[in-house]
Structure 1
Amino acid sequence: MSAPSRILVDGVHGAGKSTLAARLAERLGVPWYPVDDLLWQPGWVEVPVAQQRSRIEEICRRDRWILDGTYHGWRDVPLARADLVIGLDYPRWCSFRRLLRRTLRRLATGEEICNGNRESLGSVLSRDSILVWHVTAFGRARRRMRAWQRDPSGPPVLLFDSPEALDRWLAGPHGW
């Protein structure tokens, strides 16, 4: 089996999409395009959806790419071109624990996320908090990934229900 060259990694906030995308990019030599860099300008100003879509279309026209997430305004674009979708379908407690740990680390270190943006105590405690997004988006993300897996007209979808299952697959003999 040849290695896929257009990969979409999806899952809820905090599941490890970016970590997996970076790992696959290194392993396969395929360029990774962090979605947050394409969606957010400095000061947490969201890029207009039409511009996001244009950026994603330009990337997805290429022969090789990895994206670490999707957004409703352009989700169809990478799905139409992906060779493989990897869904991180972890239990809520697992992904929330990972997200909380990452958020606390970023608050403590001031780690840059994208385009100069950082998490702040105010952003974490706000109505638009990434923690709130996790709670409100969890069910939708899970249903979406599972629907993609059932859709015979779409790309192949591998769903992993735990970090351990993903690690076993990554260590396995899948041919690439």
Structure 2
Amino acid sequence: MKKINVVGTSGSGKTTFSRALAQRLNVPCIEMDALFWKPGWTQSTDDEFFAKLAEALDCDTWVLDGNYSRTTAIKWKDVDTIIWVDFGFARTMWQAVKRAVLRVRDQRELWSGSGNRENLRMLFSRDSILLWTLKTYRVNKKRYRALIQNPQYAHLRCVRLRSPTQCQAFLAECSP
């Protein structure tokens, strides 16, 4: 495993897992949200985003954290492993709620240099990450199931982790 994309619904724990895996393998962890979001919660254009992503992936090894289906051609061009963090709905929603509440409470900057922080208004808006998780959970499950069964990606190692215990076991088996 040299080029790994960790995917999963918002709140699934993919960022936490990606960071732990990258640390375990001693490789860079690239967070797609950090490439996409500009200061003031401004979204990058596709051209900007695709260029940033291509540049970030221009190295020998990495763990890429994120979905963004419109980037599949870029991010899976050289990927050798897809890890799908696929916890049950209740666990995923609980993690999303817990994360959102902690982010609002702590007012941590989400991506270094962006100044972006979550607030209460965001939690209850139509752009809420919690609403996003609710809307995309089943869609993402269907999409990733189809992608890992797609013959076009048969050459990739696909790992589906369905619990924190499976995640920990997978990490324990990994070595640089």
Give the TM-score normalised by the residue count of structure 2: 0.91
Partner of 2:7 in structure 1?
A: 10
Could you tell me which amino acid in structure 1 is paired with residue 117 of structure 2?
R
1:143 aligned counterpart, secondary structure: helix
For residues 82-104 of structure 1, give each alpha carbon's deviation from its aligned partner in whole angstroms, at most 9, with x where no partner exists. Answer: 11010011111111100100111
| Equivalent residue number for residue 158 of structure 2 | 157
Unpaired segments ≥5 residues, structure 1: none
What residue is the counterpart of 2:22 in the other structure? 25
The separation in 1 between residues aligned to 2:59 and 2:120, in whole angstroms, is 39
Return 67-76 or 91-100, whichever deviates more. 67-76
Name structure 2 gaps, 5 residues minimum: none
Matched-pair contact (CA < 8 Å) for 2:30–2:65: yes
The answer to whether the Cα contact below 8 Å between 1:106 and 1:118 also exists between their aligned partners in 2 is yes
- Paired residue for 1:99? 96
Structural RMSD (CA): 1.5
Structure 1 Cα separation of the partners of residues 175 and 41 of structure 2: 40
TM-score normalised per structure 1: 0.91
> Which residue does the alignment assign to 1:169?
170
Amino acid at match of 2:162: D
SS of residue in 1 equivalent to 2:18:
helix
**Structure 1 residue aligned with 2:109:** 112
Deviation at 1:175, TM superposition (A): 6.1
Question: CA offset at residue 20 of structure 1?
Answer: 1.1
Q: CA deviation at 1:61?
A: 3.3
Question: CA separation in 2, counterparts of 1:148 and 1:79?
Answer: 11
Letter of the 1:84 counterpart: T
Residue 48 of structure 1 is matched in structure 2 by: 45
Shift of 1:30: 0.9
2:89 equivalent to 1:73: no
Which residue of structure 2 lines up, in the alignment, with residue 86 of structure 1?
83
CA contact (8 A) 2:24 2:175 kept: no
Identity of aligned residues (%): 30
Look up the SS of the partner of 2:70 in the other structure: coil
Q: Does the 8 A contact of 1:7 with 1:67 survive in 2?
A: yes
Give the deviation of 1:75 after TM superposition: 2.2
**Maintained 8 Å contact 1:148/1:157:** no
Deviation at 1:64, TM superposition (A): 1.4
Contact persistence 2:36–2:43 (CA under 8 A): yes
